[in-house]
Amino acid sequence: MATTSSAQNKDLMARLDEGAVICAEGYLFELERRGYVQAGPFVPIVVLDHPEAVRQLHTDFARAGSDVMEAFTYYGHREKLKVIGMEHVLEPLNRQALEIAKGVADETGTMLCGDICNTNAYEPGDPASHKTVRAMFDEQTAWAAEYDVDFMVAETFSFLGEALIAVEAAKAAGKPVVATMAQHSDDNTLDGHHMVDACKMLEDAGADVVGLNCIRGPATMLPMVKRIREVVSCHVAALPVPYRTSDSELTFHAFRDPGCGCLPDEMPFPTALDPFTCNRYELGEFARDAFADGAHYLGVCCGAGPHHIRAVAEALGREPAASRYAPDMTRHAFFGSNAAIPDSYRAHGKRL
């Protein structure tokens, strides 16, 4: 494997022209698992309360092979902060998130990106809501531009109309823009556009990379990624959630777990998804397949752990720092073949 350089080219488009760019997402779920984010509102107050936890996760993802440090401003916008009565921390939260991500990006030679996302305030037929979300995007983009991000991400949009507003706002930073839609239970956006058409319109609006992120796992995202690649001319993004979605349960919202009667709600989303989690090898397989299909901007979204990102990197022929600790079962106490393992312990292995 080729070892990932610690002094990487920060030009996103040049990197994509040469091969794959890996971007770890999923900060909300991973930090919720670690006890720093509240499920439900999913507002990243951890950025202010425990910046060391955010910094550590950035570092973990960088060591695992992420080429990008994405500032943890997902759901750090005015609408979400209003829901929890904390609009007053909007600017400090965004600046702190950018500062943390920039510090790790500078240390690791990775790219820095700003992040804007679905606002949950957009209404297709309400022009006033369009102005509201544009104002939210503008303020977050302005802060990201001050930190000289290498590019902007506009992500997880269910409405094409909102995504188009986000792309227009993100372009004001004067950097490349990655725009990703969230595909729910059918092939259309919530405002009625086929996902392929939506990505083409995002490209036409000036997005430099278009595609899908979140909501769907590898199995149910990849077919649409292929269709998008056939229609758009720009680079394509594919960042699934690491869950075993299927034709009968297309999204991670659709899972039901009849084997568990202790769930507080009917659906396992978002805090009881453990039985549906993909293993690292499945994420590696997705990365290989998506890259072969022409998607060069790759990663894993909500639910991702550093081990998933390492699997993506290794599947693409890289050897990130964390590969030093890649599995070596030849040295296992019962299943290993190493000469130092006693035969008696290997024999016990058949009984385990």
CATH assignment of the domain containing 265: 3.20.20.330
Closest CA to 78 of 88, 63, 68: 88
Residue 4, in any domain of the structure: no
> Which has more pLDDT, 131 or 2?
131
Q: Which domain does 99 fall in, by range?
A: 12-319
Residue 147, in any domain of the structure: yes
Residue 325, in any domain of the structure: no
Whether 3 shows a pLDDT value over 60: the answer reads: no
Contact 96, 103 (CB under 8 A): no
pLDDT tens digits, one per residue of 225-278: 999 999 999 999 999 999 999 999 999 999 999 999 999 888 999 999 999 999
pLDDT tens digits, one per residue of 5-14: 444 689 999 9
Contact 304, 68 (CB under 8 A): no
Share of the chain above pLDDT 90, in %: 96
Residue 350, in any domain of the structure: no
Q: For residue 4, what pLDDT is reported?
A: 42
The single-letter code of the amino acid at 146 is: E
pLDDT tens digits, one per residue of 283-314: 999 999 999 999 999 999 999 999 999 999 99
What dihedral angle (degrees, nearest 10) is formed by the CA atoms of 296, 185, 205, 10?
-30
pLDDT mean over 329-343: 95
| pTM of structure | 0.96
How many residues are given for the chain? 352
Residue 341, in any domain of the structure: no
pLDDT mean over 311-320: 98
Whether 1 shows a pLDDT value over 60: the answer reads: no
Two tokens at 1? Answer: 């494997």
Share of the chain above pLDDT 70, in %: 98
pLDDT tens digits, one per residue of 7-46: 468 999 999 999 999 999 999 999 999 999 999 999 999 9
Residue 148, in any domain of the structure: yes
Domains in the chain: how many in total?
Answer: 1
Residue 340, in any domain of the structure: no
pLDDT mean over 49-78: 98
Whether 2 shows a pLDDT value over 70: the answer reads: no
pLDDT mean over 182-191: 98
**DSSP string over 230-247:** HH-SSEEEEE--SB---S
